[in-house]
Amino acid sequence: MKRVFAQTWTVEKSYGAVVTYGMIELNDHAAIATILDPRFKNLHFQDPSACGRAIQKLRTMVVGQLSSPSESEDDVSSTAPPEYDFWKHHKELAHGHKKKKKSHQGDEVSLYLSNPVVSLKSNPFAEWDDMKLVFPCLYKYAQQYLIVVATSVPSECLFSKAGATMTQTRNRLSSKYLEQLLFLGNLNAEEFFV
């Protein structure tokens, strides 16, 4: 039986702590979020097969989105009267335009990856707002996946603050008062003294 060992690497935080990440590239959400971040794309992948799997999964998702009808078209067609459709001409043009684009829109991932990465100081959401007309399918997934990495930090901070607030001497605080204390502790001076 052959054993496969995942490569681990360490990252030194700005305050000197060293964090070890192992097999993070095999996590689909983290890998796709990294690829969709225009600051990183596929630059920092250590495992080429994990990178390839993530890119292939992203391509499959884009192709699946192109093949499924959009919700907005269904809403417009269901609200229009059957005898006269004001948007008929537009729908025909848009439908024909989509058919023409389908042949090279499936390669949206390759076009995105071939573009250069942006500066590390740039805001990835602002960059995607600029690119949403060029990569409309990837834009939808970027809005979903880019927040995956950032969502755990605020909750961890909240749990740390709750643990520091609910001490042995304050063990009879009700959940209502604990919630109020955490809310007040989260306000900055300008908001607190309004």
pLDDT score at 193: 81
Which pLDDT score is estimated for 97? 46
**Closest to 124 measured CA to CA, from 148, 143, 152, 105:** 143
Distance CA 32, CA 59 (A): 11
Is residue 2 included in any domain, yes or no? no
Residue-level pLDDT at 83: 62
80 with 157, same domain?
no
Taken in order 21, 22, 26, 29, is the CA torsion positive or negative?
negative
Residue 152: predicted pLDDT: 61
Q: What is the pLDDT of residue 93?
A: 61
In a domain, 1, yes or no: no
SS3 category, 42: coil
169 and 146 in a common domain: no
pLDDT beneath 70: ranges in the chain: 1-22, 69-87, 89-106, 148-153
Q: What pLDDT was estimated at residue 103?
A: 46
- Give yes or no: residues 181 and 109 share one domain: no
Q: Locate tokens 């990835």: which residue?
A: 124
Find residue 160's DSSP bridge partners: none
3, part of any domain: no
pLDDT computed for residue 186 by the predictor: 83
Q: Is residue 25 part of a domain?
A: yes
**120 within 8 A of 39, measured Cβ to Cβ:** yes
Structural domain boundaries enclosing 67? 8-150
Instruction: Note the pTM of the prediction, 2 decimals.
Output: 0.53
